[in-house]
Structure 1
């Protein structure tokens, strides 16, 4: 690989497809205006010229893009008019991820994403399309670790005898049904509709409105339930596609995660980069006893569609967490069921913060539109319950160099981290808290793409915060 290599010619197609996808909305708007003013011929000519230019650009970009391994560096040269060179030292590389979408699988290719400590929001380097064997060889050459993950059918049956755990179809379906993604999909649909409504004639709104009001309440309720059911099914499908065939494997000091049905993604996580391990219990999953285990990893990147935290396992029984951590991250096993909670007088603060806005809305509606007073009343009761949950769940525990924090916004989160990973420790106390002998703490660690991740627990007892402060200030 010391000679200059080019990407697979399929990279031309991938670049072309991506560019057209980014331009399709603009082309659609231009097309609408062209049809509106009877300028179809000009629209077709302009579209043809644009597509031709994109094809030429994609081909030239592929031809001018070369890479090679030389003297412990990955050397990349690219650029059509302005030639650019990027040298990535082997010692700077944090992880190498291999991704296969449907197009890659057809041509038996792989996309290689290379991350360094200073990658920022994007990857340090991305080889869009190389042969699968070349991608594996690059990973082995740059990382010099044993490859534990079976990448295709050729490796089936190979026993690497490494700690490994896969998700079952039953658990994957349960993860989809309890993902809570229905709300996210509803917001996305609302946004898309708001963007497209300017192109929809006003008469369409009038006809639709007249049709809806002609329906009975029962039919309207059925339509709403059908829409929610469709969104729920889409959420299940999205989760199963994203986390299908999820497998985590440990090899020496690295974790390897493979997931995805349509787009197969392989992620490498050096254990030394893990800053904290979290256990997430959503409102839907907590009563069923299921959790999600994730990690905060220093450095890395945020790619389109990726989470800010790295999922170590999408869903498992709460009782299975310690066994999972013992297998993959034994240092992060903690006594999470014996935390120091909040004092009794902190309950009032949590209730007030959770209900004050709804209480004001309730009073306002009582004067102006009392017939709808039931709406803020129901929301007030929900927020009151959430405030009590936040008070009940908050707490901490110190075990030598290990710190366990628990808090809740909507989901209950338990964070396990170590003294050496904490970048800053902050105590805040306003006047009312001071009179009640309470205060707030905030700890910060380095998270994905180099930014800080913050964990805050409000209204701890002052004596408990003094214990935390002494623990953090202590140095061996």
Structure 2
């Protein structure tokens, strides 16, 4: 159906074409409009008399005209951008010089998100995101800033939870568990990412704030005071420790505000997730569009037998640093009972193929080499620069700790990594970075199997296997040092027999 026919179709059915929230005019005017506030405020700060104001207006008429043109263009862009939704389609029309019409069939939508930012609530605004399996990972197929009163038309046309069904499941996560989740999944690296965004995007403003509040001076005084009480630890080491703790705290607070008040409800057709303290988000996820289930753990939760249940679905968890969680914290017993309720066809199976313990070198050689090499490197640096021996020794220890942590992860990965295929379902266990993953999905979602063999692996009959799963960004799972003959038998459908 062409765009013109769509427009006639909707008009005949009496569908009301709605416009976005008027606040969207600012976004359409210019993304960097806020930058104009600073020169205006700086100029207004120096106004001392009425003559100065008149003189400023006489010289700034051209700037004011340009500003009116910018806002006028934004208003026209907002006025001619309209949308409507029916049982069949989400329809968006935009443009006044060049008109573009987009139609997204409801049956193809994989996830819809309704977001209520705290700064939009006073003006009655909200965001709606609609995604399909087509499109880029870092962008949304359709994004609208709507009035809150228009939210009901999206909820009425999108599939709803059927609470009378056998597989209906609902759960609300308590604050204690969300606190535990935020503690376990917060990291200094995530906090550093947010600080870098603040630093580089804020530019001079961020540096001026740091200088104005004497942050560097306070940090130096605190570090010196703590170093005096903790004999043998240099002040620079205390400073680094405070910064790491501060960055972790930023990530922790961010997780609390994002995943707090977490609620999940599901049936055989739809998965609904609500979360957020200041900014409330509601995710509507179509079960049939979910690519795979991802059970995640880190080293602490691995030993504690605590699991995080996540899903991979286009449109859910696309933001950087966010985890597409379905259930944040589950014990082993809760996982066994909850997983069949949410996903009736999903089962965790034992490994049919795993790496032998004799393959320990392939899992740990990088960490062992780095750990051993750091010892003479630190000693050499201390002899070369004896005046800062304490600082070098401290940082050497700080570098060795994550290497040792990763070594333990690799050893656990050797024990747990494996794969099984049963009744058209594939279950893959592997470790990546600092996390352990268990991927469960249909074999139809396995799009490619890549087998790698080094020269020495041919002698021992082993290989590395990389599995690629269907997703917006193809999911890659690498399994190390598996028996080559067993791999050929298990993945006979994907690996042709050698002549």
Q: TM-score range by the shorter chain?
A: 0.7 to 0.9
Cα deviation, residue 397, structure 1? 2.6
Cα deviation, residue 420, structure 1? 1.8
Relative to the length of structure 2, the TM-score reads 0.76
In 2, Cα distance between the equivalents of 1:380 and 1:306? 23
Cα deviation, residue 192, structure 1? 4.2
Per-residue CA deviation, residues 56-80 of structure 1 (Å, 9 max, x unaligned), is 3443222111223579443322124
Q: Residue 300 of structure 1 aligns with which residue?
A: 315
Q: Conserved in 2, the CA contact under 8 Å of 1:113 and 1:126? A: yes
Which of 147, 170, 178 is matched with 1:172 structurally?
178
Q: Residue 401 of structure 1 aligns with which residue?
A: 424
In 2, Cα distance between the equivalents of 1:190 and 1:284? 28
SS of match in other structure, 1:173: helix
Residues 386 and 369 of structure 1, relative CA distance in 2, 3 Å threshold: farther
Q: Conserved in 1, the CA contact under 8 Å of 2:160 and 2:270? A: no
Q: Residue 468 of structure 2 aligns with which residue?
A: 444
Which of 224, 227, 230 is matched with 1:215 structurally?
224
Residues 320 and 102 of structure 1, relative CA distance in 2, 3 Å threshold: same
In 2, Cα distance between the equivalents of 1:25 and 1:358? 49
In 1, Cα distance between the equivalents of 2:83 and 2:400? 63
The answer on 1:6 being equivalent to 2:21 is no
Query: In the TM superposition, what are the counterparts of 1:291-370 in structure 2 within 5 Å?
Result: 291-297=307-313, 299-300=314-315, 303-305=318-320, 307=322, 310-336=324-350, 340-370=353-383
Q: Residue 127 of structure 1 aligns with which residue?
A: 144
In 1, Cα distance between the equivalents of 2:490 and 2:40? 61
Q: Residue 186 of structure 1 aligns with which residue?
A: 192
Cα deviation, residue 346, structure 1? 0.8
In 2, Cα distance between the equivalents of 1:184 and 1:139? 34
Q: Residue 479 of structure 2 aligns with which residue?
A: 457
SS of match in other structure, 1:126: strand
Residues 7 and 198 of structure 1, relative CA distance in 2, 3 Å threshold: closer
Residues 237 and 195 of structure 1, relative CA distance in 2, 3 Å threshold: closer
Larger radius of gyration: 2
Which of 408, 414, 433 is matched with 1:385 structurally?
408
SS of match in other structure, 2:22: helix
Q: Residue 127 of structure 2 aligns with which residue?
A: 111
Root-mean-square deviation over aligned CA pairs: 4.2
In 2, Cα distance between the equivalents of 1:210 and 1:329? 53
SS of match in other structure, 1:81: coil
**Which range is displaced more, 372-381 or 324-333?**
372-381
Which of 82, 93, 110 is matched with 1:94 structurally?
110
In 2, Cα distance between the equivalents of 1:334 and 1:260? 30
SS of match in other structure, 1:102: coil
**Which range is displaced more, 382-391 or 310-319?**
382-391
Cα deviation, residue 433, structure 1? 1.8
Residues 415 and 188 of structure 1, relative CA distance in 2, 3 Å threshold: same
Q: Residue 247 of structure 1 aligns with which residue?
A: 263
- The number of equivalent residue pairs is 452
Q: Conserved in 2, the CA contact under 8 Å of 1:393 and 1:406? A: yes
